[in-house]
Structure 1
Amino acid sequence: MNAKTRRLVAASLVAVTATAVLAGCGSADRGGSGAQGGVLKLWTHNAGNAAEYDVVEKVVNDFNASQTTYKVEIEAFPQGAYNDAVVASSSSKKLPCILDVDGPNVPNWAWGGYLAPLELKGGEVPLDDQLPSTVGKYRDEVYAFGFYDVALTMFARKSVLDEHGIRVPTPDRPWTRAEFSAALADLKAGGKFEYPLEMGTGGSGEWWPYAYSPQLQSFGGDLVDRSSYKTAEGALNGPTARDWAKWFRSLVTDGYMAQKSGSSPNDDFLNGKSAIEWDGSWDAAKNVEKLGDDLLILPPVDFGQGPKIGGASWQWAMSSNCAQPEGARAFLEFTRKTAYFLEFAKATGTIPATDAAAAKIPGYEPGGRYEPLVRAARDFAVVRPVTPAYPYIASVFEKTAKDIVAGADPDAALDEAVKQIDANLKLNDFYAD
C-alpha cells in the first residue's frame, strides 16, 4: 500500500465528513508548512476552550519573543471539527508545521503520512520523565507528546459506604469483582438508589472504548490481539471477553445501572441519585468542592487481571510536509519546560505529565487529595491499541458494547465485532508500511 493510499484510508477511518470545515482550511494552507519566511503555522483543537487556548497562546508568544528566526501563528478549530480539518488538508499536503492530535490517533496519523518523527534533541524536560501514556509512539518512534493526561476513577461518598459496611478500596488493595458485585447488591437492597452505579452509558464516541475497554482488559480480554495486530480473534471474543460482556449486560438486568444514563451523570451523582460513579479526573475538583472530605476517589476494580484505565490525551506533533522541520522542532523543544507542564495542568484541571510538575500543584503532590489520580495514570493506564486501525476498531467496539447493553446476545455481538475488525485488517493488508 503506497503512501497516498494510506492517507486515504487513514482519512476514512478518522473522519466521516469534512464539509463543515473545508472553507476554513484555506488560510492555513497558504504557507501552512512554514514556507512564508519563517512563519510556522500551528493548529489546535481548542477554539471554544478558552482556558487551554490561553496557555497555547502564552507558549507561542514566549517562543516568538525568545528568538527572531521563526514566528509561530495559531489557528484554532472547534474540537468537533478538528479531525476533519486535518484529514481534509492532508491529501493536498497543506497541513501546518505543528498540530495537536488526540493520543489514540497518533498511530493512524503516523501511518497515514500526516506526521513526522519528532527526533527531539533538546528541551528542559526529557521525554523519559513523562507518563508513558503522554508520549505518542508508533513503530518505536516518537511522533507526539502531551503535557497532561486524565484518569478514570470511581467516585463515592464515604458516608454511604460506611452506612452499608462496604470496605473502602485502596490502590494497593482495590475491590475485587466479587467485592464490587456484593457492594452493588447491598446498595441496591438498601432501597435509596434506583441505580447504585453510574457508568455514563449515555455518552458516545470515544467515551465507549475509553471507559469500558479497560474493564474488558481487566477481565483478560482486549480490543485486538496486540502480539500481532492482525486479528481480534481470541482477544475480543475469547472466554474472558465473553465473561466481560455478560457482566456488562448484567449491570442492567440486575438493576445496578441504567441502560442509558442521563445527560448529566456527574450532577446526578452529586445530587445523590447514584452511589458510585465511573468518571474522570476532570470532575474531581468539582466533586471535592461539593462533597468535601466525604468524597472518595477510588481505584478501578480488579476484575482478575489488575485494575485498568485508559491512557493518552491530546498531544503535540509535527506534520510530515513541514518545510521547516528545524523550526518546528525548535518550537517543540522550547515548550518542554516544567513551567508549561504546570500551566497546562492548572488550566485544564488535568494530571501533569511529569512527577516534577505534579509535585508543584496543590493536591497532586505525594499524599495530596488528588494523588490517587496521579497514581492511577502512572500505574493502571493502558494505551488504546497502537495500530492505525484503532479508529475503526473503536467504532466497532462502541456499537458492539451499546448493543450488548441494550440486550443483544453477547456471544453473537462479540463474534460479529471480530468478523468486522478482521475484515478491515485484511482489507488494508494489516496496515503494513
Structure 2
Amino acid sequence: MTISRRALLAAGAGAGLLTACGSNTGRGDDAGAGPKLSQWYHQYGETGTEQAVQRYAAAYRRADVSVQWRPGNYDQQTAAALLTGSGPDVFEGGPTLDQIQGGQVVDLTGLVEGVKDDFNPAVLTTKTYDGRIWGIPQVIDMQLLYYRKSLLSDAGVEPPATLDALVDAAGRLTTKKTKGLFLGNDGGAGVLGGTPLYAAGLQLVTDDGKVGFDDPAAARALAKLHQLYAAESLLLGAPADWSDPSAFLQGLTAMQWSGLWALPQVQKELGDDFGVLPFPRDGSGGAPSVPVGAYGAAVSARSRHQGTAKDFVKWLWVERTDYQQDFALSYGFHIPARISLARKADKLRTGAAAEAVRFATEHGYAQPLLWTPAAQTAYQDALSRIIKNGADPESELRTVVRKASAELDRVKRKP
C-alpha cells in the first residue's frame, strides 16, 4: 500500500513487512563517520522521493544515516517499534499525543531557536504540547476550492466568499451535464472535517483544551451542507474521489474541493481557466478556512544517540533550506513548512500557487493534537447523518460535544 502525504488531511487516517534501503545509500568513501542512525519514512507515492531522502542522508557527514522506506500501515509499525529497542532513531510522524505523553519522543524545542516564527504556525502548533516542540514540520499539504472561471462567468456567478454564496452558486451552476460542486462521493462528510466549523469562527478544541464548537453557529453552518445535498447541487458517484481532480477537469462539476497537489495537473489542462479559494466564511463571526497538515521529524527517546539524532534533524529540517525546498516541490507539489521558503520558491510565487500559499499562511488550521480518533469518529458520523439524512444538527452536535468533552478530560488526565 502506498501512502500519500494528502492522507494527513483526510479524516480517519501490527507491524508489516519491513523494507530497508539496503547498503547502497549513495555515500562516498568519506561518508559515514560517527554513530549509525536509522531514519524511517512512510512510503510516498511520488516518484523520486525515496532517492531524494537517501541523497540527503548520504550528505550528512557526522553520522552514518540509514534510510528505511516502509510500506504498509506505517503509523502502526512506528507505534509498535517505539516501544522496543529496535525502532528508529529519527522517524517521520506527528508525533502523536500518546507518543508525547508516553515519553517516547524527545523534546526538540531548542532546534528551532531563532527561527520558530518562520514556521507556519498552524502546523507547528500540532507538534507542540505543554509548551514544548516534539516534531519539526517537513512540508505542508492543504485543501482548497477549485472553480472553473468560464463556467462561473457564463452563469453570472461570482467566486463565492461566504458559505451562503457557495450554496447559491452551486445551485445556479448545476445543469443537466454539470453539477455545481464536488465535495467527495459521500457529499463531503469524509473530507471536510472541522473545516465548516472554523469557517464559522469556531474550533474543534480551544486553546485551553475544551470543546470549541458548543455554539449555535456550528449547527447553522453544518445545516447548509445538507442544503447542498438536498438541492442536488453536489456531484455524487464520480469515477474518482475528491483528491483526484478528474471530475473537475472533465467538466462534471464547476467547483471541486481538492488539494494543492492537484494544481499542476489542473493548470496544465485548463490553463488560466480556473481559480482557487479557501472554504468560504460563514456568518459575521466567521473567516475563510483552510485545512493544512504536515508530517514532522521526531527523535525516539529510545535512541542510543539522541544528541546526534537531534543534530541530524536540525541539519536537515532547519538548516538545509535547499533540501527542504527540493523535498516540497521537486517530487510533487507541496508548501515548505518555513514561511520564508514558501514565499520565495519560484513555483509558488505567482498565480493560483501564490494564492494557495497565502491561504495556508493566513487562514490555515490543523487538526488539534488533543482531538482524538474517538472524537473524530463521533463528529464525522454525525456530519454524515446531517449531510445525507438531514439529521438535526443541534441534536447531533450535542451528542458529539459530550463525547469529545469526555475524550478531552481523558487525555488531559494522562501524565
Which of 396, 399, 402 aligns to 1:413? It is: 396
Q: Give the TM-score of the pair, scaled to structure 2.
A: 0.83
Is 1:90 matched up with 2:90? no
**Aligned with 1:151: secondary structure?**
strand
Give, in whole Å, the separation in 1 of the partners of 2:45 and 2:171. 42
Partner of 2:382: 400
**Aligned with 1:40: secondary structure?**
strand
Is 1:198 matched up with 2:182? yes
- 1:225-270 per-residue CA deviation (whole Å, 9 max, x = no partner) reads x14324x3xx344311111221122211111114665434421111
Give, in whole Å, the separation in 2 of the partners of 1:112 and 1:246. 39
Whichever residue aligns with residue 295 of structure 1, its letter is F
Give, in whole Å, the separation in 2 of the partners of 1:285 and 1:48. 16
Once the two structures are TM-superposed, the CA of residue 40 in structure 1 deviates from its matched residue by 1.0
Once the two structures are TM-superposed, the CA of residue 120 in structure 1 deviates from its matched residue by 3.6
Q: Which moved more, 1:138-147 or 1:410-419?
A: 410-419
Once the two structures are TM-superposed, the CA of residue 425 in structure 1 deviates from its matched residue by 3.4
Partner of 2:7: none
Once the two structures are TM-superposed, the CA of residue 130 in structure 1 deviates from its matched residue by 2.0
Is 1:293 matched up with 2:260? no
**1:111–1:348 Cα change, 3 Å:** farther
- 1:156-177 per-residue CA deviation (whole Å, 9 max, x = no partner) reads 11111111112246xxxxx123
Answer yes or no: is the 8 Å Cα contact 1:152–1:211 preserved in 2: no
**1:431–1:382 Cα change, 3 Å:** farther
Tell me the number of residue pairs that the alignment of Structure 1 and Structure 2 aligns.
Answer: 385
**Aligned with 1:153: secondary structure?**
strand
Partner of 1:59: 56
**Aligned with 2:272: secondary structure?**
helix
Once the two structures are aligned, what percentage of the paired residues are identical? Answer: 22
Which of 330, 334, 357 aligns to 1:350? It is: 334
Give, in whole Å, the separation in 1 of the partners of 2:378 and 2:276. 31
**Aligned with 2:256: secondary structure?**
strand
**Aligned with 1:116: secondary structure?**
coil
Partner of 1:148: 139
Which of 222, 226, 239 aligns to 1:245? It is: 222
Partner of 1:179: 165
**Aligned with 2:253: secondary structure?**
coil
Whichever residue aligns with residue 383 of structure 2, its letter is A
Answer yes or no: is the 8 Å Cα contact 1:363–1:369 preserved in 2: no
- 1:320-362 per-residue CA deviation (whole Å, 9 max, x = no partner) reads 2222111101111211312011111112310122344334533
Whichever residue aligns with residue 128 of structure 2, its letter is K
Give, in whole Å, the separation in 1 of the partners of 2:12 and 2:38. 22
CA RMSD of aligned residues (A): 3.0
Partner of 2:28: none
Partner of 1:130: 119
Whichever residue aligns with residue 44 of structure 1, its letter is Y
Give, in whole Å, the separation in 2 of the partners of 1:360 and 1:109. 35
**1:116–1:301 Cα change, 3 Å:** same
- 1:4-60 per-residue CA deviation (whole Å, 9 max, x = no partner) reads xxxxxxxxxx999x1x52x649999xxxxxxxx811111111255443222211111
Once the two structures are TM-superposed, the CA of residue 400 in structure 1 deviates from its matched residue by 2.2
Once the two structures are TM-superposed, the CA of residue 313 in structure 1 deviates from its matched residue by 1.5
Answer yes or no: is the 8 Å Cα contact 2:187–2:388 preserved in 1: no
Give, in whole Å, the separation in 2 of the partners of 1:156 and 1:52. 30
Is 1:76 matched up with 2:47? no
**Aligned with 2:194: secondary structure?**
helix
Answer yes or no: is the 8 Å Cα contact 1:159–1:294 preserved in 2: yes
Partner of 1:43: 40
Partner of 1:6: none
Answer yes or no: is the 8 Å Cα contact 1:107–1:137 preserved in 2: no
Whichever residue aligns with residue 43 of structure 2, its letter is N
Structure 1 unmatched ranges of 5 or more: 1-13, 29-36, 170-174
Answer yes or no: is the 8 Å Cα contact 1:246–1:410 preserved in 2: yes
Partner of 1:139: 130
Give, in whole Å, the separation in 1 of the partners of 2:164 and 2:85. 54
Q: Give the TM-score of the pair, scaled to structure 1.
A: 0.80
Which of 249, 252, 256 aligns to 1:270? It is: 249
Q: Which has the higher contact order (CA 8 A, sep 6+)?
A: 1
Answer yes or no: is the 8 Å Cα contact 2:139–2:337 preserved in 1: yes
Which of 118, 129, 136 aligns to 2:108? It is: 118
Answer yes or no: is the 8 Å Cα contact 1:222–1:241 preserved in 2: no
Give, in whole Å, the separation in 2 of the partners of 1:47 and 1:279. 19
Give, in whole Å, the separation in 2 of the partners of 1:26 and 1:375. 38
